[in-house]
Every structure is written in C-alpha cells, then in structure tokens.
Amino acid sequence: MPVSDDNYRVRPLEEHQARDILSWEYPFPYDFYNPSVDAYHDHYVKQFLNPALNFHAVIDARGTMIGFCSFGSDGQVLGGDYGDEALDIGVGMRPASTGQGQGAAFFGAILGFALDSLSPEFLRLTVAKFNQRALKLYENFDFEIKSEFFEHSTDVPYLILVRAAARPI
C-alpha cells in the first residue's frame, strides 16, 4: 500500500524505473554513487527487482520518480558492523532533484513508509562520510552516529547511523 507525506508516495519499484536509475549520473563529488553497470545492466535490474532487497520508488505528485529506497541488506556496506537488530535503509535521489530542498519531504516519506509498513524497532543508515548533505538530513531526523568504518576495496570511510523507531518523525 502506498504511503504519502502529501508530496511523495512510496511504492514497489517497477522494471522501467530500475532501468531509469541505472542511467543516473551524479556530479562530483557525488559521482561516487554513479552506477557502473556497463556489461552488468540486466544483472543490476534483476537486483533492483529482487523481492528480498525490497526496493521501492519514491513518486512525486506529478507521478515522476524522484528517487528510490531499499529496506534490508542492500542498505549495508561490506566492512560495517551490522550485528545489532535494525532495519537497514538504502536511499537514492534522482541527481536533478538533489540540492533542491526536497530532501526532508523525500526522506520523510521513506521513513514514514518504513515505520508504518515494516514496523521496525530500530532503523539504520550507512552513509559515505564525505556526504555531509545526507548526514545533516539524517541527523535532522534524529539518526545518531553509531560507528565508523572503511570499506577496504575502495578505502572509503562510512558512518553507520541509528535511531529508535519510537521517536516521532
């Protein structure tokens, strides 16, 4: 069932939306998030559509997908400590929509969906440490830094943020 915050709805990701995501290109320094899919395009589409990874599209009032989210292991990064029980959330916003003041409503819709539909006790995000824009947004939603680690194949530092589901949005 779609959830709305008046501006955005969260609903299961469809194949055409997965293919759209694979064409997104972020500017520096966010180009870190650009999909490198070349020969693996169909593999990544299948991953986006894998029910176990629980990918969803975030749709605006005009019916345009402005981003996506996942709930579960896809939100984890190799090398992080995910021993505590929490719902991992992965988030991606269409590059043209970033930096436009839409982040709070966008993420609020995702958080509302997770709380209403998945009933977690705790929520967890893993964010590249350089992404101060995302970190500020998540801290505004009462996520707190729990740990830091390096993903060794890229030597990128990440932060793991957690919040209790019982806190109001």
The CA–CA distances, whole Å, from 134 to 3, 137, 143 equal 22, 5, 11
Query: Tens digit of pLDDT for each residue in 35-79?
Result: 766 656 788 888 899 988 999 999 999 999 999 999 999 999 999
Q: To 5 degrees, how large is the angle CA 90–CA 125–CA 54? A: 30
pLDDT at 3: 45
* Amino acid letter, 82: Y
pLDDT at 1: 35
Average pLDDT value for the chain: 89
Question: 25 forms bridges with which residues in the sheet?
Answer: none
99 confidence band (pLDDT: 50, 70, 90): confident
| CATH code at 3-164 | 3.40.630.30
Query: Tens digit of pLDDT for each residue in 136-164?
Result: 999 999 999 999 999 888 888 999 999 99
Let me know: does 101 contact 7? Beta carbons within 8 Å: no
Task: Give percent of the chain with pLDDT exceeding 90.
Answer: 67
Q: What is the enclosing helix (H) or strand (E) of 115?
A: none
pLDDT at 83 over 90: yes
Q: In 3D, which of 4, 114, 14 has the Cα closest to residue 57?
A: 14
Interatomic CA distance for residues 21 and 169, integer angstroms: 27
pLDDT at 115: 94
- The residues near 81 (Cβ < 8 Å, ≥ 6 apart) are 147, 149, 160
